[in-house]
Structure 1
Amino acid sequence: MQAKQALQFAIAGLRDIDTFNIIEFNQQISMLSPVPLTATSRNLGVANRFIASLEANGGTEMAPAITAALVDTLQANAVNVRGESMLRQVIFMTDGAVGNEQQLYQLISDQLGDSRLFTVGIGSAPNSDFMRRAATMVRGTFTNIGKQSEVKDKVEQLLTKIEQPVLTNIGLYYLDGSVPDYWPSTISDLYQNEPLWVSIKSPSQLLQPIIVSGNINGQYWQQQLDFTDNQPARGIDLLWANAQITALELYKNAASGPRVNKQVEALGMQYHLVTSQTSLVAVDVTPVNPMSDKTIDANVQSHLPHGLQVGNQAQILPQTATSSRLWLLIGFSLLGLGILHYLWLRQRLPGQVLVLKADA
């Protein structure tokens, strides 16, 4: 229900110059149309009826849906009704768990190209870590919708944001044209009122100006950033190391797995980070007794049991809530009777072994 509601809000925000399509997926996929549709009132009505007919069943097989979203027939329509070039944006919504992460990472990397992937996880079931990383790979973002009451606001915020990115196709390079060591290697687009984090590794004594470039409304833009007045801050190196580890594990597959594990382990050891290959052990080196060569005399106040009465009255420990003495007397009496009965049986059956068995 939440996914259907989110999808209805999404198509309601389309403009008449936009084109769209809807792909349902579980074990199989079904498409609203074999080609993208213009966002006219008639097509939006058809889409709403298609959404109303959707039913949640089966699994969450993302691979066929991603493939279907990017086939040649969908890529053919690269301009809108005004003849303007369009940026393909894929919004992936699910309220189910997603598996086969490594296979999907490779598929997304191979097929999305210059498209943008925006993932929307609804409820508590979706794999948030996968959906966040998958969106980061192709300059997208991840939106988490935990409650049904949040669907409308968060979908509207997402659509408003992706309609007009502030800066796209962002790149970094030095004045001499060389590329700095930065992560993530694929920088997401910059959106209004949303910070963008990029970690750059550079020797503190050799800080060089960096050129930030990109596109604003289709026009090339660049800006030089100088770091001569900036003082190095502690902990920045850990941000870079964490970003590189995330990028390494993002593209890990069966062939590169052993090499990536060694790289992650080396980074974890060098920067003292907890990773998939390293962990930390806390060791307390504080001496137990810093004055071990001397003795310390002190009066330690006795802590009385709760309920102990002191003062003018005799000290009486708290009593139990049962008649313990009576039960002890009954227990010893039954034990004595049992021993007498056992001795009597041995006298009547000489040469035989008596086996007592209690079936549970």
Structure 2
Amino acid sequence: VVGPRYIPGAPVETAGGDEEVVDGFAGTGWAQNTDQVPDAARITPPVLPPGDGGRNRVELRVDLDPGFELGYLDSSYHDVLIREPEPAHYEVELRDGSTLANRDFELVWRPVPGQEVRAALFSEQVGDATYALLLVVPPSVASAGRRLPRETIFVVDVSGSMSGASIEQAKIALRKALNRLEPGDRFEMISFSDRAAALFGGAVPVDESSLRRARTWISHLEAEGGTEMLSALRLALESETPAEPEAGAATPVGQVVFITDGDVGNEEALFSYIEQHLGTRRLFPVGIGSAPNAHFMERAARFGRGAFTYIGKPEEVEERMASLFKKLEAPQLTDLEAVWPDGAAEVWPDRLPDLYQGEPIVVTARLEVLAGEVGLTGRRGQQPWSMKLGLAGGGTGSGIDKLWARRKIAALMDDRTLGAEEAAVRSEVVDIALAHHLVSKYTSLVAVDVTPVRPAGESLETAPVPTELPAGWNHEAVFGSLPQGATAGRAYLLGGLLLILAALVLRPGRRERVR
């Protein structure tokens, strides 16, 4: 679900006063293009007002073949029917057949509990090429390991789009996070809307006084204003990195926990900033609410070399924050690498992340021939770890080539974000997308209706389709009486009206001539 986004920047207008045309389209959204979000009018579809929702429904069916038996399978936010037509093969569909399109669908599955890392391999032959999918699943039971001291910066979004259930979930999440801190750790708290503000002005040691101040600060958080996320990233990532430890002491782990719904339009600028200023830290986005910006969250976690956590309802906060902190405290595998036969494989992602509990890693590869084996190496705690899988002994699947192509396109778009020449990136993306029949930034799918329903001389018309307001959102808090989105537009309007009133009061009186 795509929720309303905050659009930063100054409006961009042509000489005639019309919105700037981007890629040949002016857009039909409620926001005007700006210098920071030149396609704002295309990414802000109209939203149905209160009392007029319920038009948009969706049907969904999932065919799940994980390669091993599952110990748990369920949907977090929707009632579903689950069937197992054969061992380790599952079919999932909505119990009512369809549902309102106002919140994300999340399907959660876990293998039968165990203490070992598991892996499964699937392949698909498409034309002359062979595609492979490698799934690496962490243990269901976390391995015990030494807890390292941490320096954690908590950043929380308090903009207008976080009003209602989202800000309350964020407060609960922050309180749970404080409970996981231990003596020897350091922490800082940052909030942002129109601007960012830090509680301490730098990371401080965990003690009774600092925790008491932090809890009081959390209780006073309120959601209003715009979503100037870049200012918060600057405050978090440009602060001093964790200090070097004394001889024999463990190196503090620098982590940024970023709690937000992510509903902004300038994602590319944010990704570039994270890549350039992350340093040795890890970024862990926490998506709050019924419709967080998953595109931003997932790519921010990838650029930040961390993991994305989603909290969709208050009852999940304790469990998912505890799960997040288990990830922060003890990765299951680090320095993970995959070695393919003879190196003759184009693999995406080309750099594997750490393996965290509850976060499987999916690797896709394009091979010349399906022969030999793939080796996995890494470190589990302080010990070396390895595993091998035969390429020819795995199962088969469909759509693996498309997943590989999507991963490659995502990597190319990351390169574009970091400054690669657009013409070169566009050419390569178009070739891949057309070959694999994928929608991308530069390609679309076109359906041709051969049945004429319009007179040949009549012009075509485009009409935007209004979307549902995400579940739990407050329409008045996001839009107010004007189509501004989660911005401070009403405050600026009020200020302008006050200035006009002051001008009228101070204006010299008009004198009438008396005859």
What TM-score do the two structures reach when normalised by structure 1? 0.69
Q: Which residue of 1 aligns with 2:374?
A: 210
Q: 1:244 aligned to 404, 408, 415, which one?
A: 408
Deviation at 1:255, TM superposition (A): 5.3
The superposition leaves residues 3-39 of structure 1 with CA deviations (integer Å, 9 ceiling, x where unpaired) of 2221111111122232221111223222122332232
Aligned equivalents of 1:121, 1:98: Cα separation in 2? 13
Is contact 1:190-1:196 (8 Å) kept?
Answer: yes
Identical columns (%): 38
Q: Which residue of 2 aligns with 1:23?
A: 190
Task: Specify which structure has the higher proportion of helix.
Answer: 1
Aligned equivalents of 1:273, 1:266: Cα separation in 2? 10
Q: 2:399 aligned to 214, 227, 235, which one?
A: 235
Is contact 1:211-1:223 (8 Å) kept?
Answer: yes
SS at match of 2:331: coil
Aligned equivalents of 1:148, 1:223: Cα separation in 2? 39
Aligned equivalents of 1:196, 1:9: Cα separation in 2? 27
Gap change, CA 1:229 and 1:46, over 3 Å in 2 = same
Aligned equivalents of 2:303, 2:173: Cα separation in 1? 23
- Further displaced range: 61-70 or 259-268: 61-70
The superposition leaves residues 269-309 of structure 1 with CA deviations (integer Å, 9 ceiling, x where unpaired) of 11122323223346799xxxxxxxxxxxxxxxxxxxxxxxx
Gap change, CA 1:108 and 1:83, over 3 Å in 2 = same
Aligned equivalents of 2:449, 2:261: Cα separation in 1? 45
Q: 1:83 aligned to 227, 236, 249, which one?
A: 249
RMSD: 2.9
Q: List alignment gaps of at least 5 residues for structure 1.
A: 286-360
Aligned equivalents of 1:284, 1:125: Cα separation in 2? 33
The superposition leaves residues 218-239 of structure 1 with CA deviations (integer Å, 9 ceiling, x where unpaired) of 4443434432434664432222
Q: Which residue of 2 aligns with 1:14?
A: 181
Q: Which residue of 1 aligns with 2:351?
A: 186
Q: List alignment gaps of at least 5 residues for structure 2.
A: 1-167, 451-515
Residues 280-291 of structure 1: pairs in structure 2 closer than 5 A: 280-281=445-446
Which amino acid is the alignment partner of residue 10 of structure 1? A
Gap change, CA 1:215 and 1:68, over 3 Å in 2 = farther
Residues 49-198 of structure 1: pairs in structure 2 closer than 5 A: 49-71=216-238, 73=240, 75-79=241-245, 83-95=249-261, 97-124=263-290, 126-174=292-340, 180-198=345-363
Query: How many positions carry a matched residue from both structures?
Result: 282
Deviation at 1:78, TM superposition (A): 4.6
Is contact 2:182-2:206 (8 Å) kept?
Answer: yes
Q: Which residue of 2 aligns with 1:329?
A: none
SS at match of 1:91: strand
Is contact 1:170-1:213 (8 Å) kept?
Answer: yes
Q: Which residue of 2 aligns with 1:319?
A: none
The superposition leaves residues 96-133 of structure 1 with CA deviations (integer Å, 9 ceiling, x where unpaired) of 62231111111111111332211112124642211121
Gap change, CA 1:193 and 1:72, over 3 Å in 2 = closer
Is contact 2:345-2:368 (8 Å) kept?
Answer: no
Gap change, CA 1:284 and 1:203, over 3 Å in 2 = farther
Aligned equivalents of 1:277, 1:155: Cα separation in 2? 38
Gap change, CA 1:68 and 1:218, over 3 Å in 2 = farther
